[in-house]
Chain A
Amino acid sequence: MNATRSLSYSKKRSTVIASTVFLIPVFFFIAIFIIYPIIDSFWLSLHTWNGISSFKTFSGLDNWKMLLSDTTFYKSFSNNLIIVILSIAIQLPIAMAIAFLLDTGGKKLNILKMIYFLPMLMSSVAVGFLFKYIYDPQFGLISAISTMFGGEGMVDLLGNPKYAIYAVIAVICWQFIPFYMVYFLAALSSLPIEIYEASIIDGATHGQYFWRVALPSMQGAIKSAAILSLVGSLKYFDLIYVMTQGGPSGATELMATYMYKNAFQMMKMGYGATIASGMFIVITVISLFTLKIINGKQEA
């Protein structure tokens, strides 16, 4: 009796020691490069600092008061929301349609699948530059197409505060639809083939199979895709920074670009840290909220 207990004790102890050894490296990285910066960011947000001098002035909640009355921050947050909504509304249906097309087409459409995937192979920065030139009013693709259809050319979508954000969203969709396409394709092909055969034998058309059988059974995949898109859109930075730098006159400003400009271009590190912390709070709250809604519904 005593022996087994001490054996289980020493077993437990060796498990704890082994776990500690194996887990030290990962928590070393997480502590230094993720947890410490978050805390430091909040701490910095209570200071005024230009990033160069070794002297930081403690300014209490001044930065936070400024953030709460900063219309540019609200504007950038609402731009983030527009991207969230339009990304989900445009990307997911198109991706789903293409995925269904590829799924019913089978192997012979493999070449299409390859070409459809191409946009995913470029970095956001390269995509941004490419489309900056495609949108170029003088020698870009869009202007050329407009002249082809009898327009006068010189279409400047990125320079127009009214259209700039939609022009950028179109690029975001171009880049990420392939991702959701593959995601849905995997979900579609994991549906049991028997269900497909049964519905076809029962006289259903492909369309009926899609609407009545496939789509309802893909709810889980669609929800996950929406969450991925939501979280991604709230953090958006690279592509916008390359294409418009938040311009023209703040029309495409996002939380991340606004933070970058304040901290690293205007050297207002304290306020930059405040925007970053605000962004962290906003993203965390929205993600938790969405997860709660979606998971709550699943249980019901």
Chain B
Amino acid sequence: MKKKRITFGKIIASVLAIIWLVIAGAPFYFMAASAFKEQFEIFTSGVFAAPKGLFLTNFQKVIESNFYKYVLNSTFVVLVSLILILTTALCAAYPFSRFKFKLNKPLFGIVVAAMAVPIHVTLIPLFQLTQKLNLYDSIFALIGPYTAFNLPISVFILTSFMAAIPKELEEAAEIDGCGKYRTFFNIIVPLSKPGLATLAIYNSVNMWNEFSFALVLTQSPKSRTLPLSIWEYQGQYSSNIPMIMAVLTLCALPMIIAFAIGQDKLIKGMMAGAVKG
């Protein structure tokens, strides 16, 4: 039963909505529109003009180069690390949320504290470590740090998720003769699936975009991940803006597709990290 009245507040709200629409959208328009332009079209027709036609050569050139290699590297690192993170976090969250033992609180405290450690403190020692282990400049160098740095928050989130699973289920299982390990695999793990899904999204997005470790622990194009690919192309095509924009568009594409498929899930997953430490 709202009255339709144009109030001062509504005008301000609409102005704000439009301004922010332009601010959030313009860079994307610039990126996507430029990607379809020829190298010198930007100079002749200006940055705001829509591309003259669907000029796809930029994309073709990028895809025909070793772009796929970066995609494969990123996919591999993310998948392997993700499996490690989720299984390790599942195992850790179970005793933290369910068992009473003396060291529970202090150990959990260490995990929470680890959430706050800035990765840059560890860059030099991990650079050394990967060299000692002969992993430097291979994608395997990234798996350990990626897993370790995404674990604390994953354990934290999963612990609070498991703590919300009703105790009665577990007690019933115990009475029926289930040991701790069977209870874990048959009751806790299946019930934790929604939590795991959120974590999978959160961690995948993080690792897919990770830059610092990839910059320091890898060197050659054959072992670099997607965020660093942009670097290589910039070296090659520094003055060809449409080409760089095509690379950027292709890099953003997987996330935009994921967003189009399940925006609510993706948003929820990406916000999972916003917990009070």
Q: Which residues of A contact B (CB under 8 A)?
A: 12, 14-16, 18-19, 21-23, 25-27, 29-30, 32-38, 40-41, 44, 51, 94, 97-98, 101, 104-105, 109, 112, 114-126, 129-131, 133-134, 136, 139-141, 144, 174, 178-179, 182-183, 186, 205-207, 224-225, 227-228, 231, 234-235, 237-238, 241, 255-256, 259-260, 263-264, 269, 272-273, 276-277, 279-280, 283-284, 287
* Residues on the A chain within 8 Å of B163, using CB: none
- The answer on a CB contact under 8 Å between A174 and B17 is no
Residue of A nearest to B230 (CB): A129
- The answer on a CB contact under 8 Å between A121 and B256 is yes
Residue of B nearest to A16 (CB): B101
- The answer on a CB contact under 8 Å between B114 and A129 is no
Q: Does B95 contact A (CB under 8 A)?
A: yes
Q: Give the CA-CA distance A183 to B21 in the complex, in Å.
A: 19
- The answer on a CB contact under 8 Å between B180 and A14 is yes
The majority secondary structure among interface residues of chain A is: helix
Known: A234-B118, A277-B121. A33 touches B148 (CB 8 A): yes
Residue of A nearest to B131 (CB): A51
Residue of B nearest to A20 (CB): B95
Known: A26-B151, A237-B212. A33 touches B274 (CB 8 A): no
Q: Does B199 contact A (CB under 8 A)?
A: no
* Residues on the B chain within 8 Å of A131, using CB: 27
The majority secondary structure among interface residues of chain B is: helix
B145 CB to nearest chain A CB (Å): 5
Known: A123-B208, A139-B47. A129 touches B124 (CB 8 A): no
Q: Give the CA-CA distance A120 to B248 in the complex, in Å.
A: 14
Known: A22-B95, A26-B111, A119-B24. A98 touches B16 (CB 8 A): yes
Q: Give the CA-CA distance A264 to B219 in the complex, in Å.
A: 12
- The answer on a CB contact under 8 Å between A44 and B124 is yes
- The answer on a CB contact under 8 Å between B122 and A178 is no
- The answer on a CB contact under 8 Å between B27 and A33 is no
* Residues on the A chain within 8 Å of B227, using CB: 123, 125-126
A interface footprint on B146-188 (CB within 8 Å = 1, 0 otherwise):
0111011001000000000000000000000000110010000
